């Protein structure tokens, strides 16, 4: 068999894989597609201009060594950039850049002009009648990286946030989607990235807005017939941060307008940062074309903080407030409030307040009272491991059997019930539930939940299973 683009590239990949970190390989090399091989030049397709720039900046030597090994000293690498055009044209936007042209894009720079009939754009953040062209970032400087402590639960999201802040629009983390449960720091991280960018690049226009407010502004613009001004205003932003993007669910007009704004910003190398309480695969009623764009960059999950991170957060909070507290108190609070950073900080603020108002020393007894209040107000977090154990015990099988590939009806039903309760009682994404219960995908979990709902209505015995198990979790 002759040498083909595929065979050359797969040999290159094998070499590259041995020489870089697995995460870097996954991010930067897996998305590349070999296109053709002619005159000793290998053409590879990359998803975006930033991708090409990043490869040339960080991996050019590695690529050169890999390619020379395969094709000799006269080897050339040609990049083909493929992206969708904003204006409804389904043809791929393709631009060839030979690797020899390194560092200079020349006249081929991609730029989509803002077509506005009205040169004086209306800023939806400005009260009518007051002339103000300056766009306020709406950022809270109190939310910064200094007080966003790193731990295992947030390392990927925090590192990606730092990378974006150092080079907005210049990494492949565009968009950066940060998702996770309530009170785990999504909004804090989004603001921290914006604050850092404003600090490093004061001339860039940064804007933070909740998806709810964005929707209200859009509705207002439709009412006042200023929809185009609304779009043009947002197309001028360098770094757009949208909080709680799941709020766009079911709002097709707002999704449509956001789609056009997003495409324009992305194609012009601007940075988009999104937060959501769900992973893209779990978002309901969000158009497919928008979801596919959310997946273009990086989706990073914020998980529940582990014990060490919780202790660090408490100590940092006390240090910032200039308060000292015995180690055993900090330890007690960290051990008992596990699922929510907001509650963790709330409990410590409550303790400080109690002791200063009542002139009391902070004791373990006082800590127990305060923690009890917080824990009582939140449903006990049930882990997926615990759910699998309870379901397995109930059906008198072990967890390995529950997770196995067997299609025996009673085992399949037990597995589906475990998935159903994991979705009901945990904040884990469908993909995460699937991977923990026998390495299934999110579609299997979705199917399991539907099956359980259907059987609950039609099968009396099955309904009893659900009732019995629900009691064990409540």
What length does the chain have?
A: 474
Sign of the CA dihedral running 207, 210, 216, 218: positive
Task: List, for residues 322-361, the tens digit of each pLDDT value.
Answer: 777 777 778 887 777 777 777 777 777 777 777 667 666 7
Indicate if 324 and 209 belong to the same structural domain.
no
Radius of gyration of the chain (CA): 26
Indicate if 391 and 371 belong to the same structural domain.
no
d(C-alpha 259, C-alpha 242), whole Å: 13
* For range 39-49, the mean pLDDT: 82
Indicate if 332 and 220 belong to the same structural domain.
no
* Cβ proximity of 272 and 266 under 8 Å: yes
Q: Backbone dihedral region of 244: left (phi > 0), alpha (psi from -120 to 50 degrees) or beta?
A: left
The helices-and-strands tally (H runs, E runs) of the chain is 20, 9
Indicate if 45 and 178 belong to the same structural domain.
no
CATH number at residue 187: 3.40.50.300
Kindly report whether the peptide bond that precedes residue 175 is cis, defined as omega within 30 degrees of 0.
yes
Indicate if 357 and 388 belong to the same structural domain.
no
d(C-alpha 147, C-alpha 162), whole Å: 13
| Any domain includes 358 | yes
CATH number at residue 369: 1.10.8.60
**Which range has highest mean pLDDT (104-113, 125-134, 304-313, 346-355)?**
304-313
- Determine the pLDDT at residue 453: 92
| Any domain includes 63 | yes
Task: List, for residues 373-396, the tens digit of each pLDDT value.
Answer: 766 555 555 788 889 989 999 999
Indicate if 266 and 323 belong to the same structural domain.
no
Indicate if 79 and 208 belong to the same structural domain.
no
**What is the residue range of 325's domain?**
316-336+345-377
Residue 104 has pLDDT above 80, yes or no: no
- Concatenated DSSP letters of 11-52: HHHHHHHTTS-HHHHHHHTTT-EEEEEETTEEEEEES-HHHH
Total domains, the chain? 4
Which residues pair with residue 298 across a beta bridge?
A: 176
> Which single residue is written with the structure tokens 């308060």?
323
- Determine the pLDDT at residue 454: 92
| Any domain includes 460 | yes
Task: List, for residues 61-86, the tens digit of each pLDDT value.
Answer: 888 888 888 888 888 888 887 643 33
pTM over 0.85: no
Beta-carbon contacts of 248 under 8 Å, excluding residues fewer than 6 positions away, are 211, 215, 254, 255, 258, 286, 290
* For range 388-412, the mean pLDDT: 91
Residue 413 has pLDDT above 90, yes or no: yes
What is the overall mean pLDDT for the chain?
79
Indicate if 160 and 293 belong to the same structural domain.
yes
């Amino acid at each position: 068999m002759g040498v083909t683009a595929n065979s050359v590239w797969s040999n290159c990949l094998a070499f590259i894989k041995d020489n870089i970190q697995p995460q870097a390989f996954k991010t930067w090399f897996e998305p590349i597609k070999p296109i053709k091989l002619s005159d000793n030049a290998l053409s590879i397709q990359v998803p975006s201009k930033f991708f090409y720039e990043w490869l040339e900046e960080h991996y050019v030597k590695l690529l050169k060594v890999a390619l020379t090994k395969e094709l000799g000293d006269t080897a050339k690498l040609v990049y083909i950039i493929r992206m969708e055009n904003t204006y409804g044209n389904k043809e791929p936007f393709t631009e060839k850049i030979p690797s020899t042209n390194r560092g200079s894009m020349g006249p081929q720079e991609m730029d989509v002009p803002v077509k506005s009939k009205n040169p004086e754009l209306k800023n939806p953040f400005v009260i009518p009648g007051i002339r103000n062209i300056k766009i306020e970032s709406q950022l809270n400087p109190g939310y910064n990286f200094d007080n966003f402590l790193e731990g295992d639960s947030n390392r990927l999201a925090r590192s990606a946030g730092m990378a974006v802040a150092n080079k907005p629009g210049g990494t492949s983390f565009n968009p950066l989607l940060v998702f996770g449960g309530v009170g785990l720091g999504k909004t804090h991280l989004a603001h921290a990235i914006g604050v850092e960018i404003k600090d490093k690049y004061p001339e860039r226009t940064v804007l933070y807005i909740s998806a709810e407010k964005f929707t209200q502004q859009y509705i207002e613009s439709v009412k006042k017939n200023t929809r185009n001004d609304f779009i043009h205003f947002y197309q001028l932003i360098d770094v757009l941060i949208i909080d709680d993007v799941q709020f766009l669910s079911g709002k097709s007009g707002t999704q449509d307008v956001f789609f056009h704004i997003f495409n324009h910003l992305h194609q012009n190398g601007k940075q988009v940062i999104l937060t959501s309480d769900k992973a893209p695969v779990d978002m309901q009623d969000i158009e497919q074309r928008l979801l596919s764009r959310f997946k273009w960059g990086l989706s990073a999950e914020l998980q529940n903080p582990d014990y060490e991170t919780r202790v660090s957060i408490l100590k940092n909070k006390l240090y910032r407030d200039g308060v000292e507290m015995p180690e055993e108190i900090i330890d007690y609070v960290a051990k008992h409030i596990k699922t929510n950073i907001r509650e963790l900080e709330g409990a410590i603020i409550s303790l400080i307040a109690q002791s200063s108002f009542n002139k009391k020393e902070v004791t373990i007894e006082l800590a127990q009272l305060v923690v009890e209040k917080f824990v009582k107000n939140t449903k006990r977090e049930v882990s997926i491991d615990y759910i699998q154990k309870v379901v397995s015990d109930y059906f008198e099988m072990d967890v390995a059997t529950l997770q196995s590939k067997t299609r025996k009806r009673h085992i399949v039903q037990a597995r589906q019930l475990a998935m159903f309760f994991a979705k009901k009682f945990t904040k884990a994404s469908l993909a995460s539930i699937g991977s923990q219960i026998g390495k299934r995908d999110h579609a299997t979990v979705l199917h399991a939940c539907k099956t359980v709902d259907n059987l609950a209505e039609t099968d009396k015995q099955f309904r009893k299973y659900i009732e019995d198990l629900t009691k064990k979790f409540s």
